[in-house]
């Protein structure tokens, strides 16, 4: 096991999770950021971060941080932190391919006494059941004799400039008591909010996967309430604001549930539960409700258009916002795509406008080319899907000006006053 003052870190994966972590460690100790994406490394070497998670001045402060795509340059490192994504496939099954490949890469440079810490969201047991055997096989070393492991789940909230990596309390764990102490001490060098040392790697894995499962279920409940209140002719937000006057009522809002965590993590837990013979009911019910909301929004807008005798076929529809959350360029698993696809089944002409989105990424991920200029008096329906500040600044009048004399404006995110829109969740 390395001494803390002799630690040479390698961060594997430099996305929304890995880069902020690498920058903070790079202020304190020798840190190498590794990514297989050459364009990403070139961008970071130029002092820029396209995810907008780390400002150029913060990158410059990490004087002990270097970047590389060359695996051989990690051989001198003795602590490896793996921060690669753990997505789901089109059947909502956990896809551990990035994690398995990262483990294979680390195994090629692993030396006796080294520690491998995983931050990627997984089901309880995945680190020891999936990752460790790959490390052993690739390196030829024995777990908990020649090398060790830890797990410290990421808690990054993309686009959030208040809750950042250093100010979010960190859960830590290790494969032995001594390693658990080392991992905890290592993170304490950068985490000002403090740490919570779990009793085992499995406990830390489980803690992470239920954080977002709990949020997913809470939002699913509010989404279901929205479906009910709409049928009753009651405004959902007014109900929630009234109920929110009680001190212990949780302030959740209905909406589209996308992103790399809340809409993904529950499937990691349910997959593992099914493997051990338990069929989850509440968790999967919540997922079904949340995954249906894009189609529900489209259905409501189509009904409103029909009432105004606006033909849906060949209509012009504008979607404002494509990212999975406001004021953030992250497109991962955005559920706005569900609205777009639903309208396309009606043979509507759909334009997507989002000032935060990288056009090439949108084309690559979803085959969508966002428009760059908004057309006045052009649209039969406008859906405000993401509450970017730019849309708030446009206001209801500015957005209505994009529509024809007869059009529908639907507000998914409660961005505009109730009286200024035709409908909202």
pLDDT at 161: 77
**Spatial contact of 354 and 323, defined as CB atoms under 8 Å apart:** yes
- Global pTM reads 0.92
* pLDDT tens-place string over residues 344-393: 999 999 999 999 999 999 999 999 999 999 999 999 999 999 999 999 99
At residue 409, φ and ψ (nearest 5 deg) are: -120, 115
The token duo for 316 is 């012009």
| pLDDT at residue 5 tops 90 | no
CA atoms of 85 and 300, how far apart (whole Å)? 34
Q: State percent of the chain over pLDDT 70.
A: 100
Q: For residue 391, give the nearest of 383, 81, 154, 348 by alpha carbon.
A: 383
What are the helix (H) ranges across 140-292? 177-188, 201-232, 236-243, 265-275, 282-291
pLDDT at 157: 79
CA atoms of 23 and 25, how far apart (whole Å)? 6
Beta bridge mates, 10: 32, 80
| pLDDT at residue 46 tops 80 | yes
pLDDT at 405: 94
| pLDDT at residue 172 tops 80 | yes
The token duo for 128 is 């020891």
pLDDT at 27: 95
The predicted model gives 117-133 an average pLDDT of 96
* pLDDT tens-place string over residues 202-255: 999 999 999 999 999 999 999 999 999 999 999 999 999 999 999 999 999 999
For the question of residue 261 being annotated catalytic, the response is yes
At residue 178, φ and ψ (nearest 5 deg) are: -65, -40
* pLDDT tens-place string over residues 66-90: 999 999 999 999 999 999 999 998 8
Active-site option among 77, 131, 261, 328: 261
Contacts of 191 (CB under 8 A, 6+ apart): 165, 166, 168, 169, 170
pLDDT at 259: 84
């Amino acid at each position: 096991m390395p001494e803390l003052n002799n630690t040479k870190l390698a961060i594997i994966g430099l996305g929304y999770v890995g880069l902020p972590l690498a920058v903070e460690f790079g202020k304190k100790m020798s840190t190498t950021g590794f990514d297989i994406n050459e364009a990403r490394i070139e961008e970071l070497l130029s002092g820029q971060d396209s995810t907008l998670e780390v400002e150029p001045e913060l990158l410059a402060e990490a004087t002990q941080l270097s970047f590389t795509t060359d695996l051989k340059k990690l051989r001198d490192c003795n602590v490896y932190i793996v921060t690669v994504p753990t997505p789901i496939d089109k059947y909502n099954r956990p896809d551990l391919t990035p994690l398995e490949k990262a483990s294979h890469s680390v195994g090629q440079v692993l030396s006796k006494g080294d520690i491998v810490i995983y931050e990627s969201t997984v089901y309880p047991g995945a680190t020891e059941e999936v990752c460790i055997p790959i490390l052993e096989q690739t390196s030829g070393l024995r777990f908990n004799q020649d090398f060790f492991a830890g797990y410290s789940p990421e808690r990054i909230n993309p686009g959030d400039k208040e809750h950042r990596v250093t100010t979010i309390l960190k859960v830590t764990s290790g494969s032995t008591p001594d390693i658990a102490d080392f991992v905890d001490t290592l993170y304490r060098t950068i985490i000002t909010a403090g740490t919570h040392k779990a009793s085992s790697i499995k406990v830390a894995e489980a803690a992470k996967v239920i954080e977002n499962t709990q949020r997913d279920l809470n939002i699913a409940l509010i989404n279901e309430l929205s479906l009910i209140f709409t049928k009753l002719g009651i405004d959902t937000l007014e109900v929630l604001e009234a109920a929110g006057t009680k001190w212990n009522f949780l302030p959740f809002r209905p909406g589209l549930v996308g992103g790399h965590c809340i809409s993904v993590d529950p499937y990691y837990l349910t997959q593992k539960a099914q493997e051990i013979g338990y069929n989850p009911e509440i968790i999967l019910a919540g997922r079904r409700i949340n995954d249906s909301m894009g189609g529900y929004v489209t259905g409501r807008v189509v009904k409103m258009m029909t009432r105004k005798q606006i033909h849906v076929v060949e209509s012009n529809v504008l979607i404002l916002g494509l990212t999975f959350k406001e004021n953030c360029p992250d497109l991962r698993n955005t559920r706005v795509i569900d609205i777009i696809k639903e309208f396309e089944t009606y043979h509507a002409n759909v334009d997507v406008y989002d000032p935060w989105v990288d056009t090439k990424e949108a084309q690559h991920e979803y085959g969508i080319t966002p428009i760059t200029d908004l057309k006045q008096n052009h649209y039969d329906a406008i859906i405000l899907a993401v509450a970017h500040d730019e849309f708030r600044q446009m206001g209801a009048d500015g957005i209505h000006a994009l529509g024809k004399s007869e059009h529908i404006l639907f507000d998914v995110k409660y961005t505009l006053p109730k009286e200024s829109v035709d409908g909202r969740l």
